[in-house]
Chain A
Amino acid sequence: MTVQTKHPAGAVPRFKVDLTGGVWGPLIGLIALCVFFAFKAQHFFTLQNAIIIFDQVTVYGILAIGMTLVIITGGIDLSVGSVLAFSAMTTGWLFSIVGMPFVPALFCGIAIGGVAGLASGLLVTYARLPPFIATLATMTITRGLANKYTDGNVVSGWPDALNTLNTYRHFGVITATTAFFLLLVIATWAFLKYRPAGRNLYAIGGNPEVARLAGIPVRFYLVGVYVVAGGLSAIAGMANAARLQTSQPYDGLGYELTAIAAVVIGGASLSGGVGSIGGTLIGVLIIGVLNSGLSQIGAQTYDKDVIIGVMIAAAVAFDTLIRRRR
């Protein structure tokens, strides 16, 4: 337990562990799962399968990035799955029915996701609704609006360029959407770890009054976090459209819960002030690896749900026990 503070090489990791709130537990879990499936499933431990897992987690991985920011501030965003569909349907409607060129339509769709986040943020900060209620309202409204464009019908006929984003493997390895997801992970990681604004999010989640007295514009940050989560949901919507080659109003149903699960498995605390992008990435990969590995050993979808549910409970219980031990 003793750490020599004079020895920088010894002190730095210690500091990092405390800040990320113990990402090591989930990481060990991820490695254990990979080892297990490597022995059980013949094709699991291959580069090809790793690429497929990354492709499969991209959509809810992007949602989980926004969710991490929100959860660190002590909030929650239930609307991300609905905003995903709302944004994709907005773009689809503008492109295929209104006749707007594709690129402006795409950016309009992303902007409308930000607007949905702005609505949640203003409800949380100025109307003082609890985040759960505010985003429940946004979730319901955006799902309704997503259906309204096409009376609930599917939008198809996306340009080939969009599909290519999710199908063409650059350098034979990585698709544009997956690369974009990983870039977002790195950017958000650096922001949360190194930028004063990122550090301030932890302070706000840890104790908003302390943050306010320290001169941090708490409301501005909170609104910003929901706007970013909304914008990222829209981007996830575009990645989803690229993947499925169609969009429908019920896309992303329940994805908010997968995103929350990934963030929580990654060691974030729903009471705020604790969490990290590294942890979230591990949480996302744990869910991806379980999905992939369990399919390969022939588990049914229902079994997968049961096992992922057990995993969530086990990860958080483990984390809580470790914390209490300290």
Chain B
Amino acid sequence: MSNADTPNVAEGLSIRGITKRYGPITVLRDVDLDVKPGEVVALLGENGAGKSTVSSIIAGLVPPTAGTMTWNGQPYAPTSPADALRRGIGLIHQEMRLLPDLSIAENVFVGRLPTRNGRVDRAGMARRAAENLHSLGLDVSPATLVGALRVAAQQQVEIAKALTLNARFLIFDEPTAALGGEETDNLFAQIERLKRAGMGFIYISHRLDEIARIADRVVVLRDGQKVGSHATAQVPVKTLVEAMVGRSLDRMFPTIEPLNGREILRVEGLTSPDGTFSDVSFSVKAGEVFGIAGIVGAGRTELMRAIAGADPIASGTITVEGRPLAPRSPADSLAAGIVLVPEDRKAQGLVLEHTIGDNIALGNYPRVAPNGFVTPGAVRRFADANIRRFGIKGRAGQPANHLSGGNQQKVVLAKSIARQPRIVILDEPTRGIDVGARAQIYDVIAGLAREGLAVIVVSSDLDEVLGLSHRVMVLSRGTNRGILDHTQANRISVMERATH
């Protein structure tokens, strides 16, 4: 296979003709890739394109079926992740692999706790962990238990852990999926610093704007094959997206339709007991997509969970179609017609071991079986109708954890929308989802608004909030910094308020 890579690279990582088969299925076909020291190579592709398989092979999680790798001129065939790490190659997982009941410092040094005089050197451990956290922009005590941290902070602990590993080559798999703008900037500053020190990177992300900022080169995979290799600066986003999905995308976002609905949701002076948000007021009309922007920790998720009845409210009022709502549990908000599609679909959206059918039917039994007799046939028919409606690639009897992120998200959407709500809250609806599935979810969101529902979209992806919303509310440190009409909202006006 011919490509732009220079042959005979002695330094850095070089892989040649890597193929991976699981039984009769070939997930990776004859892939070549070179990463020199001090270089960031972005790996792009839809879910299932083979990105994770490439990183798993390099990190020693799975052996390749065929092909060879060299690392700094030496043959490289890791037998385990620990083996890969000994050679200086580490992988930052997409899913957090942390121990929630241990402190940040212990998590950073787990498996290699520093000792002094035969005892664990807690002070030194805390100091080194704190340094790394601080350089990532996370100012919390290293003695904090990881379980008490929010998703974004946990991810930073994961990154801090890698930075203390003295690795010379790191693979980042969607490192910024849970990060806000500021944390992303911090991470990129770290990557730039490590690059200058000669470290090599493979960077996997669905966020093309990030790739343009951080990557030196871009390699695009599709269906397990390398379909493109570019220098970042020269590649328009559209070209990359088209290479990834293998078809041309006319538009990413559906058009925003004019608004003429009546007000459905009114929130006034809403304040949380622990101060994560305070005195927040806004209203949403029928047919409106209402975006909520802000950096991680601004209180967006907490605000949405409070409206959905999942977390308590200290003061303020919620009014749904003129009727006051003081939810004491999610059941109260659901009864008022509010559904929440939560940010963490694996922990809060799905029972992963259960089937797609059971997941879609959950909470929908009055509609699945109006006679109160939930037969497997009724569940399957209900699920099949929703599988068709939302274009889920899976069967009703398949466990939910067999699905890709995009299809899992569609299952959560199907389950929530099947309740026939009046207000839909989507928290990070496209986190970790590939471009093709994203476009489908955007179409679903626009479709719900067209049907006259009030839709609230919370996202750390600024383009997504801007592209979908009629109006955008910006939260910063738990307070409303302004609501912008989509004609005035742009990256600058939103970010100015978000970082206020």
CA of A200 to CA of B354, assembled, Å = 12
B375 / chain A contacts, CB cutoff of 8 Å: 194
CA of A315 to CA of B461, assembled, Å = 48
A217/B329 in contact, CB under 8 A: yes
B384 / chain A contacts, CB cutoff of 8 Å: 5
User: In the complex, which residue of chain B has the Cβ closest to the Cβ of A204?
Assistant: B351
| Residue among A195, A198, A206 with most chain B CB within 10 A | A206
A14 / chain B contacts, CB cutoff of 8 Å: 397
Q: Smallest CB–CB gap between B276 and chain A, Å? A: 18
Q: Smallest CB–CB gap between A203 and chain B, Å? A: 5
A200 / chain B contacts, CB cutoff of 8 Å: 362, 365
Within the complex, which residue of B329, B347, B354, B372 is in contact with A273, where a contact is CB–CB below 8 Å?
B354
The reply to whether the CB of B357 lies closer than 8 angstroms to some CB of chain A is: yes
The reply to whether the CB of B428 lies closer than 8 angstroms to some CB of chain A is: no
CA of A197 to CA of B379, assembled, Å = 14
A274 / chain B contacts, CB cutoff of 8 Å: 353
Within the complex, which residue of B363, B373, B376 is in contact with A214, where a contact is CB–CB below 8 Å?
B363
A210/B348 in contact, CB under 8 A: yes
A18 / chain B contacts, CB cutoff of 8 Å: 355, 397, 399
Q: A196-B365, A199-B358, A215-B334 are in contact. Are A209 and B374 (CB under 8 A)?
A: no
Q: A15-B396, A196-B369, A199-B365 are in contact. Are A216 and B354 (CB under 8 A)?
A: no
Interface members, chain B 337-356 (any A CB < 8 Å): 340, 342, 347-355
A15/B354 in contact, CB under 8 A: no
A19/B376 in contact, CB under 8 A: yes
CA of A3 to CA of B415, assembled, Å = 24
The reply to whether the CB of A16 lies closer than 8 angstroms to some CB of chain B is: yes
The reply to whether the CB of B310 lies closer than 8 angstroms to some CB of chain A is: yes
The reply to whether the CB of B254 lies closer than 8 angstroms to some CB of chain A is: no
Interface members, chain A 194-230 (any B CB < 8 Å): 194-196, 198-200, 202-203, 206-207, 209-217
User: In the complex, which residue of chain A has the Cβ closest to the Cβ of B369?
Assistant: A196
User: In the complex, which residue of chain B has the Cβ closest to the Cβ of A190?
Assistant: B373
Interface members, chain B 364-383 (any A CB < 8 Å): 365-366, 369, 372-377, 379-380
CA of A3 to CA of B395, assembled, Å = 10
The reply to whether the CB of A307 lies closer than 8 angstroms to some CB of chain B is: no
A15/B376 in contact, CB under 8 A: yes
Interface residues contributed by chain B, number (CB under 8 Å): 40
B354/A202 in contact, CB under 8 A: yes
Q: A8-B377, A199-B358, A203-B351 are in contact. Are A212 and B330 (CB under 8 A)?
A: yes
The reply to whether the CB of A12 lies closer than 8 angstroms to some CB of chain B is: yes
B349/A210 in contact, CB under 8 A: yes
Within the complex, which residue of A194, A210, A211, A212 is in contact with B374, where a contact is CB–CB below 8 Å?
A194
The reply to whether the CB of A187 lies closer than 8 angstroms to some CB of chain B is: no
Interface members, chain A 4-28 (any B CB < 8 Å): 5, 8, 11-12, 14-16, 18-19
Q: A11-B397, A18-B399 are in contact. Are A206 and B374 (CB under 8 A)?
A: no
B365 / chain A contacts, CB cutoff of 8 Å: 196, 199-200
A207/B397 in contact, CB under 8 A: no
B357 / chain A contacts, CB cutoff of 8 Å: 15
B374/A195 in contact, CB under 8 A: yes
Q: A15-B397, A213-B308 are in contact. Are A207 and B347 (CB under 8 A)?
A: yes
The reply to whether the CB of B331 lies closer than 8 angstroms to some CB of chain A is: yes
CA of A273 to CA of B350, assembled, Å = 12
B376/A12 in contact, CB under 8 A: yes
CA of A33 to CA of B230, assembled, Å = 65
| Residue among B310, B355, B397 with most chain A CB within 10 A | B397
B395/A216 in contact, CB under 8 A: no
CA of A107 to CA of B169, assembled, Å = 71
B355/A217 in contact, CB under 8 A: no
CA of A209 to CA of B342, assembled, Å = 11
Interface members, chain B 219-261 (any A CB < 8 Å): none
A203 / chain B contacts, CB cutoff of 8 Å: 351, 354, 358, 362
B340/A213 in contact, CB under 8 A: yes
A210/B376 in contact, CB under 8 A: no
CA of A50 to CA of B469, assembled, Å = 69
B358 / chain A contacts, CB cutoff of 8 Å: 19, 199, 202-203
User: In the complex, which residue of chain B has the Cβ closest to the Cβ of A15?
Assistant: B397
A202 / chain B contacts, CB cutoff of 8 Å: 351, 354, 358
B376/A206 in contact, CB under 8 A: no
CA of A28 to CA of B376, assembled, Å = 24
A15/B355 in contact, CB under 8 A: yes
Q: A199-B361, A216-B331 are in contact. Are A207 and B380 (CB under 8 A)?
A: no
CA of A11 to CA of B381, assembled, Å = 11
B348/A217 in contact, CB under 8 A: no
CA of A196 to CA of B330, assembled, Å = 18
User: In the complex, which residue of chain A has the Cβ closest to the Cβ of B373?
Assistant: A194
A215/B376 in contact, CB under 8 A: no
Given contacts A213-B308, A214-B362, 20 further A-B contacts (CB under 8 A): A12-B377, A15-B380, A195-B372, A195-B373, A195-B374, A196-B372, A200-B365, A202-B351, A202-B354, A203-B351, A203-B354, A206-B352, A207-B347, A207-B348, A210-B351, A212-B329, A213-B348, A215-B329, A215-B363, A273-B351
Residues of A within 8 A of B (CB): 3, 5, 8, 11-12, 14-16, 18-19, 193-196, 198-200, 202-203, 206-207, 209-217, 273-274
Residues of B within 8 A of A (CB): 308, 310, 329-331, 334-335, 340, 342, 347-355, 357-358, 361-363, 365-366, 369, 372-377, 379-380, 384, 395-397, 399, 415
Give 28 CB contacts A-B under 8 Å.
A3-B395, A5-B395, A5-B396, A11-B397, A15-B376, A15-B379, A15-B380, A18-B355, A19-B376, A194-B375, A195-B372, A195-B374, A196-B374, A199-B361, A202-B351, A203-B351, A206-B351, A207-B350, A207-B351, A209-B348, A210-B351, A212-B330, A213-B340, A213-B349, A215-B334, A215-B335, A216-B363, A217-B329
Question: What 10 A-B pairs come out closest when comparing CB atoms?
Answer: A206-B351, A214-B363, A196-B365, A215-B331, A215-B334, A15-B397, A207-B351, A15-B376, A213-B330, A214-B362
